Structure 1
Amino acid sequence: MPRKSEPPPKVFVALLRGINVGGKNMIRMSALKESFEGMGFGDVTTYINSGNVVFRTQEGDARKLERDIEGVLSKEHGLDCKVVVRSFAEMAGLLKSLPETWDGDPLRKYNVIFLRHSVDDENILNELEPEGEVEQVVYLPGTLLWSARVSDIGRTSFHKLPGRKLFQEMTVRNTNTTRKLYELMKNLAGA
């Protein structure tokens, strides 16, 4: 009897929070790649030193992937970091949702804030209380788009986030990094 063929592996990105920052949670990208390959993930690629890993897997449950990756990184490397996993489809949707003018002003800073499932709710805007005059914050499922004039960053709600518990449930990438990760995923997906 012929075996059923497995569906093609799915493409994901893992965004590690708080590694290689301020001398804490230090890991070489080559060691990170080896750990991901050791978990059975294929076509593993890291991008820059801040913990961005693109990979393929048959597993489709992002929350399970997050738990598994966090566990392996803790066990193998002693890292205490949270992980946000997004599928290629989620990243494609995010990039399609970016306003055309997003990141077009050199006098502004633009970030994509990836939310963990525990805080992924539009009501997060009420908790953040963005300063409407100095920053723009837009909720999209799984993310916040944040921008502010560089000269006003110190007055923003985003600037005040690091001291809050909520900040532990998100990880930040600038728009250029987010676009590059999407391109890596797109190439891997053959899209």
Structure 2
Amino acid sequence: MTHLKNIFLILVIAFTSANIFAQEPMVWTPDYELQLSDYQSSESEINAALTSYSIYSGAKIDFGFNMNSVSFMFTKNFNSKVKAIFQKNLAVLVAPDSLTANQLLQFGRYDFDLVELYSRKIRKKIYEEKGAFSDSSLFQPIFNELQEEMNTVSAQVFKATDFGKDAELLQKEHNKVINEINALSDFCMTCKPKKNRK
């Protein structure tokens, strides 16, 4: 009987771990494209009875580090500390039909890539501005400035494309973002930037 209890306990732990893992934010990668199934908030639905549609992308810049002052002083590359993440459990997509849902999804894909672009811009600015004697107060103004700029760009494209319904304009804006991401290839989350040339 004890043996069966142990097996049951192991199964419960495995199941709980799987549920915890499922709630982990998804980190941006160049080879994954968001799907409708990623919008896992209980508010998400595609329902013909609906008369409106909306999206909350669930994408954001996550920035944090925990190190002592000596480690901080000698760290130049903070790329791994700035992450573009997508929170599936917070991502909401509401649409009356699959056509509208897929238009909103295209905007969600654009927005997640935009978050990665601004993550790279933050990484680059930190890399360029952090000196040997900088302290952590350097980061917040950089983060705030670029976060605000990103939110403005996202809102402008959202409005200009009418929630992604103007597919041609959205694709044009998305291509710009992809090109800018590629131009900042030294500042991917796992990259080591080249030393500044003087």
For normalisation by structure 1, the TM-score amounts to 0.30
Greater Rg, structure 1 or structure 2? 2
Q: Give the structure with the higher percent strand.
A: 1
For normalisation by structure 2, the TM-score amounts to 0.30
